[in-house]
Structure 1
Amino acid sequence: MANAASGMAVSDECKLKFGELQRKKAFRFIVFKIDEKLQQITVEKHGGPDATYEDFVASLPENDCRYGVYDFEFTSEDGVTSCQKSKIFFIAWSPDTSRVRAKMIYASSKEVFKRELNGIHYELQATDPTEMDLEVIKERAK
């Protein structure tokens, strides 16, 4: 179904790959791209379970917008026990150097797209790499 605000549809592959990341841990991250010609959001890249946060950041273009999801695993400690946890971050990457049209399309499609990806824990909006630094992710996951 097309997003009423931007006219962008969400490809079935987006939902399928997100489900594989969420339930099967098949991916560490997924990068999504808006294909203006097809008028839909598609999967551009994904990183396997062993991919790092640095791999995810490196897969984002320097001068263009993207959406990304990253499955952040960490150890939670309550003073008595510790356990492995996982939180899924949705990152809206919109660098200052990207085209104004791209920023507008990504901004107007974001909320509807996020609703298609059921299970996101946190959202970050980033216009430069410091806004989505690994320390920011760690702090939000606590």
Structure 2
Amino acid sequence: MASGVIVDDGVVTAYNEIKVHHAGEVVGDRYKLVMFRLSDDDKSIIVDEENSVRMKDIEGEGEVFKRLIEKFPLNDCRYALYDCCYRNKDTEKADLVFIMWAPDEASLKKKMLYASSKGALRKKLQGLKIEWQVNDLSDAKDSSALIEKLGSRGSIKELEGKTV
């Protein structure tokens, strides 16, 4: 907690909800993307429900990845967990991707606060193996940077049901 920012209990609850799928749960109610932001007083990390996406919100969507990227603000930072579905040469996979969104248009103060608070958040979100740092919208509009994090362009065949 180098920044002194604390992690709200709701963040851990949302992490457990996106991480574990329970038998009998309604698939549409699951998170596809859960977004986190600093509270208005910059003292805690909270769930950004307004920009989080549930499976039912993208049902029938042809461009799932593009739709999710559109939820990130152009001039402010965010953290997010993305339940990423992809196919490699052999199997379908799903991994949680931790996203640190710090666009060039965000204020330097915000970028520094988010960067210095990331460690406290990561401590609460144990077990994440994929992290994607996005500093510019062009980094996110093309899925190739994410595909490199998942494996490589040669090994990943589909992302969110679309051939890559």
**TM-score, normalization: structure 2?**
0.75
Instruction: Report what 1:34 is aligned to.
Output: 38
Is the 2:7–2:120 contact (alpha carbons within 8 Å) kept by the matching residues of 1? no
Provide the C-alpha distance between the structure 1 equivalents of 2:122 and 2:67, rounded to a whole number of angstroms.
22
Provide the C-alpha distance between the structure 1 equivalents of 2:87 and 2:106, rounded to a whole number of angstroms.
36
Instruction: Give the one of 47, 58, 62 matched to 2:53.
Output: 47
Instruction: Give the one of 61, 80, 86 matched to 1:68.
Output: 80
Per-residue deviation, 1:67: 0.7
Number of residues of Structure 1 aligned to a counterpart in Structure 2: 135
TM superposition outliers: structure 1 runs of 4+ over 3 Å: none
Q: AA paired with 2:65? A: Y
Is the 2:86–2:94 contact (alpha carbons within 8 Å) kept by the matching residues of 1? yes
Is the 1:22–1:119 contact (alpha carbons within 8 Å) kept by the matching residues of 2? no
- Unaligned runs of 5+ residues in structure 1 are none
- Unaligned runs of 5+ residues in structure 2 are 22-26, 59-63, 152-164
Is the 1:6–1:109 contact (alpha carbons within 8 Å) kept by the matching residues of 2? yes
SS in 1 for 2:14: helix
Per-residue deviation, 1:63: 0.4
Instruction: Report what 1:106 is aligned to.
Output: 114
Instruction: Report what 2:144 is aligned to.
Output: 135
Per-residue deviation, 1:141: 1.0
Instruction: Report what 1:15 is aligned to.
Output: 12
Q: AA paired with 2:136? A: D
Instruction: Report what 2:161 is aligned to.
Output: none
Provide the C-alpha distance between the structure 1 equivalents of 2:91 and 2:132, rounded to a whole number of angstroms.
25
SS in 2 for 1:28: strand
**Post-superposition CA distance 1:50-92 (Å, at most 9, x none):** 5322222111110011111111111232xxxx32211111111
**Aligned-pair identity (%):** 27
Is the 2:6–2:120 contact (alpha carbons within 8 Å) kept by the matching residues of 1? no
> Root-mean-square deviation (CA), in Å?
1.7
Provide the C-alpha distance between the structure 2 equivalents of 1:134 and 1:22, rounded to a whole number of angstroms.
22
Provide the C-alpha distance between the structure 2 equivalents of 1:86 and 1:6, rounded to a whole number of angstroms.
32
**TM-score, normalization: structure 1?**
0.86
Instruction: Return closer, same or farther for 1:18/1:126 CA change in 2, 3 Å cut-off.
Output: same
Q: AA paired with 2:31? A: F
